[in-house]
Amino acid sequence: MNWTIFQEQVFPIRDKLYRFALRITGNTHEAEDVVQEVLEKIWRTPEAQSEQVLNWEAWCMTLTRNRSLDKARAQTQRRTTTLDGLGERPGVSANPAQAVETRDLAEIVRRMIQELPEKQRLVMHLRDIEELSYEEITEVLNISLEQVKVNLHRARKAIREQLNATVNHLTEIS
């Protein structure tokens, strides 16, 4: 591994790798371990192999996904991590009641996302949180472009339908 490539291509995406590992493992310590192991593996990659990498971010995300899934399976745990900071942006609302409503809605959405099937949850995270392109997601998850689009569509549709049902239910109560 070349130090310049590591500094320019790999090191800047370490936070993204951590968020992705956290999304899969559901444990901050496990996610930190995953990222450390992935960075070490990348650093120890033979020069000949590293020259063949065309998209460093996709390759790093793939390594992170594989290692995270291994860790999650080994611990037989389900992901329980929420989307940090959603709806908790200071200064967005000066009205305390609105702030509470926003936090409550964010928590509802977090739970809905956690209940999605794994592939839908991962595709949604990579696209909507990490903002990867469809092509990058196909590389990271090793699925077809069609599967990415279908899983993303189904995930968004499920969240939208559950939100509409929740809003309708809350409207009926009040």
pLDDT of residue 78: 39
DSSP 13: G
Angstrom distance (rounded) from CA 37 to CA 5 = 18
Taking 50 as the pLDDT cut, the residues of the chain under it are 77-82, 84-93
pLDDT of residue 80: 38
Q: Where are the domains of the chain?
A: 3-75, 96-173
Domains 3-75 and 96-173 alike in fold:
no
- Residue of 52, 54, 70, 63 lying closest to 14 (CA atoms): 63
pLDDT of residue 18: 94
pLDDT of residue 38: 93
User: How does DSSP assign 99-135, residue by residue?
Assistant: HHHHHHHHHHHHHHHHTS-HHHHHHHIIIIIS---HH
Longest dimension (CA), the chain: 65
pTM: 0.56
CATH for 96-173 is 1.10.10.10
Inter-axis angle of helices 56-75 and 134-141, nearest 10: 40
Would you identify the CATH topology of the domain 3-75? Rna Polymerase Sigma Factor; Chain: A (1.10.1740)
